Structure 1
Amino acid sequence: MSPVETRTLLADHTTLRLGGPAGRFVIAKTTDDLLEATRAAGEPVLLLGGGSNLVVGDAGFAGTVIKIATEGWRFDGAEVEVAAGQNWDEFVAAMAGEGFSGLECLSGIPGSVGATPIQNVGAYGCEVADLLVSIECFDRRTGEIVTMTAADLGFSYRTSVLKGSDARIVLSVRFALRDDGLSAPIRYPELARLLEVEPDQQAPAERVREAVLELRRGKGMVLDADDHDTWSAGSFFTNPIVRPGMLDRLPDDLPRYSARGGVKLSAAWLIEHAGFAKGHPGPGGRVSLSTKHTLALTNRGPATTGDLLALAREVRDGVRARFGVTLVPEPLLINCDF
């Protein structure tokens, strides 16, 4: 295990490139290192993967930050078990390249494998919950390593029982993939049009992966150090789910989709029609909505987390005033208020 570092800036470990110092910072490259660091840390603990879904306050995090850097995967019959610290997109690319399919619609998403079940990562009609079999995790309350099935994880839209708690630490994730090289049925209209297939048809997984990457690049959602539109935490707001009775008070042309618990609305549409265009600036122009996609809040270079949250509040309050819908942030907020 790497030696414990102090005052490491978390801005150097998040895709937003924002965040103050960690009280203590340690890198765990093996599962044994991760368990040792967790047991020695006490409270509080912040678990860090790729840093793509975190907004860390300017004051940083006073406790111990453990960067999970475990890597690799192994096949077990028709299933594959992946280390929690494995780079997600590298894993997805390898599976598609070897003829295993199911994850291709989740291509280009930054971060680590262990973070994907926490918020039930999803894109282009696919969610981690669709393919996850189980996770192995360390339960800090009992000191035991336990297996949790997909049913145990209580998956819902962009959440699970793991979100917002460090009581259980993901060590590995097990997926069931197909070996026919064909994607799942294409459910997302934009993707179907690009692939020139009918909705619910299948396509070669590698072709689907390339199409998804093309769409994501066009929205600034594939990391690029030279492109400030990618200095973000991805989509900052989740698509809100409302009761059907609320639809009578909303515009007829607002995109809506059936969802568990109600009707899912397009957060991007709400933001744009509340008067916030792509590139809308925040304080001093140091932050802005992405010039490519209104759901991403971006760091233009010299920003602070305070700047970013001021812009987020402006957008949230504007949408609520215009439509009566309250947007909720998707990334985890660490030592900062929204």
Structure 2
Amino acid sequence: MLPSPTQRLAPLTTLRLGGPARRLVEATSADAVVQAVRDVDAAGEPLLLLGGGSNVVVADDGWPGTVVHVANTGRVVERRPDGSVLLTVEAGTDWDDVVAACVADGLGGLECLSGIPGRTGATPVQNVGAYGVEVADLLVDVDLYDRRSGAVRSHVPAAELGLAYRTSVLKGRDDAVVLRVRFALPGTDASAPVRYPELARTLGVEAGARVPAAVAREAVLDLRRGKGMVLDANDHDTWSAGSFFTNPVLPEEQVPAAAPRFPAGPGTVKVPAAWLIDHAGFRRGHPGPGGRVALSGKHVLALTNRGGGTTAELLELAREVRDGVRSQWGVTLSPEPVLVGCRI
């Protein structure tokens, strides 16, 4: 029997790619998420958890089991005696809605993470970061469902999550399901210190300065729009999974002489993957097989679906870019999105 339209996964991903699931369950509360996962585990079926679909590449064959769509929403703001704020957010809440609401409420801290697609539950898994701020800077703890024990673990401290550059101990595993997330915010309307040079130049301030959070948010959104990194159904440059490759962290002696670099620990530096791609001969808009997928016309780090593409075509383009960079620079780029039923 052919899958029904509600079982198609492509419309649930920002790439708009991916085949059908055998079954799709919409879970609109944390309890519903837990029960859905327990039911799938009891039935011995393959489980895929899907939130905003912004950091995932799903195979053309789809998923052979059940997809639980995490859709529990809501946030709670608690003022603490020292004036700071504890922000509790349900995992299925749209991330940019959270940032926008905080800025509207006069709460700074998250504004540099504006415009990032996806759901809040994914932010600690990926240790989401942008423009000099990452989730690890503000994360207090998370509530998890532990599939191995069948128990809900409340207030698991951020220190136990192994947060590092675009990763955590939660990434690449499916036995711990994020149910809600808590952040500590300063409680004022000032932005986080502006550390990212491009953002500082845009705002006309020195590195380390603070500006009103609303001003920083608009500047970040403008920068992201210019790179095709704010979702727009009419702009195929945004039909992507965001940055497809992570910025490699390399020993200093392995870094190309002309490459930009940023400190990443003793003896190592982080090199922009976009620079490596561009200087390996790949330009904005570089087409993949058949021309239905391509590098973004605004940003070489994003692989995009131009309409009618397939996951297989996207992965072929990813391999071409990866292999080209490796041939030119001796550096192997690693994908940032989660690859479901596929690999490069």
TM-score by length of 2: 0.94
Residue identity matched to 1:180? T
- State the Cα distance separating 1:6 from its structure 2 match: 8.6
Aligned to 1:13: 12
**Pairing 1:41–2:76 present:** no
Q: Distance in 1 between matches of 2:6 and 2:101?
A: 36
1:245 Cα deviation from its structure 2 partner: 3.0
Which of residues 270, 287, 311 is equivalent to 2:317?
311
Q: Which moved more, 1:126-135 or 1:261-270?
A: 261-270
| 2: CA distance, partners of 1:316 / 1:227 | 25
Residue 190 (structure 2) aligns with:
182
Match of 2:144 in 1: 137
Which consecutive aligned stretches of 4+ in structure 1 deviate over 4 angstroms post-superposition?
4-7
* C-alpha distance in 2 between matches for 1:316 and 1:228: 22
Match of 1:52 among 49, 54, 60: 54
Task: Give how far 1:145 is off.
Answer: 1.1
Number of equivalent positions = 332
Residue deviations 1:105-156, cap 9 Å, x none? 0000000000000010000000000000000011010111113111100011
User: Which among 296, 305, 314 is matched to residue 299 of structure 1?
Assistant: 305
The aligned residue for residue 181 of structure 2 is: 173
Q: Which digits, 9 at most, give the CA deviation of each residue in 1:250-304, with x for residues without a partner? A: 2x22011111472100100000000000000000111000000000000000100
Structure 1 position 161 matched with structure 2 position 166:
no
Q: How far, CA to CA, are the matches of 1:220 and 1:39 in structure 2?
A: 39
Q: For residues 98 and 77 of structure 2, what CA distance do their matches in structure 1 show?
A: 13
1:329 pairs with 329, 335, 341, which one? Answer: 335
Q: Distance in 1 between matches of 2:212 and 2:5?
A: 47
| Deviations 1:286-324 (CA, angstroms, capped at 9, x unpaired) | 100000000000000010000000000000000000000
Paired with 1:5 and 1:69, the residues of 2 have a C-alpha distance of 20
Secondary structure, aligned partner of 2:275: helix
Residue 253 in structure 1 maps to residue 255 in structure 2? no
The equivalent of 1:283 in structure 2 is 289
For 1:322 and 1:245, how far apart are their aligned partners in 2?
16
Aligned to 1:83: 90
- The answer as to 2:90 corresponding to 1:73 is no
Q: Structure 2 unaligned runs (5+)?
A: none
Alpha-carbon offset, residue 7 of structure 1: 7.2
Instruction: Report SS of the residue matched to 1:172.
Output: strand
| Conserved? CA contact 1:6–1:23, under 8 Å | no
Alignment partner of 1:162: what SS? coil
Structure 1 residue aligned with 2:223? 215
What letter matches 1:88 in structure 2?
W
- Cα deviation digits, residues 180-211 of structure 1 (max 9, x gap): 10011100111011111111100000000000
Aligned equivalents of 1:245, 1:330: Cα separation in 2: 24
State the TM-score, normalizing by the size of structure 1: 0.96
Between the aligned partners of 1:60 and 1:301, the Cα distance in structure 2 is 18
Are the structure 2 counterparts of residues 121 and 154 from structure 1 closer, same or farther at C-alpha, using a change threshold of 3 Å? same
Q: Deviations over 1:222-242 (max 9, x none)?
A: 000000000000000000011
Q: Give the conservation status (yes or no) of the 8 Å contact 1:6–1:25.
A: no
Give the aligned partner of residue 107 of structure 2: 100
Q: Write the deviation string for residues 60-111 of structure 1: whole angstroms up to 9, x where unpaired.
A: 0111100011111112332011000000000100001101111000000000
- Answering whether residue 54 of structure 2 is matched by residue 64 of structure 1, we say no
Look up the SS of the partner of 1:142 in the other structure.
coil
CA distance in 2, matches of 1:163, 1:5: 30
Of the three residues 101, 115, 120, the one matched with 2:122 is: 115
2:38 corresponds to which letter in structure 1? R
Alpha-carbon RMSD across the aligned residues, in angstroms, is 1.3
117-126 vs 38-47, greater mean Cα deviation: 38-47
AA aligned opposite 1:80: L
The letter for the 1-side match of 2:321 is V
Identity of aligned residues (%): 60
Letter in 1 for 2:76: R
Question: How much has 1:244 moved relative to structure 2?
Answer: 2.3
Can you give the 5+ residue segments of structure 1 that lack an aligned partner in the other structure? Answer: none
| 8 Å CA contact 1:10, 1:21 repeated in 2 | yes
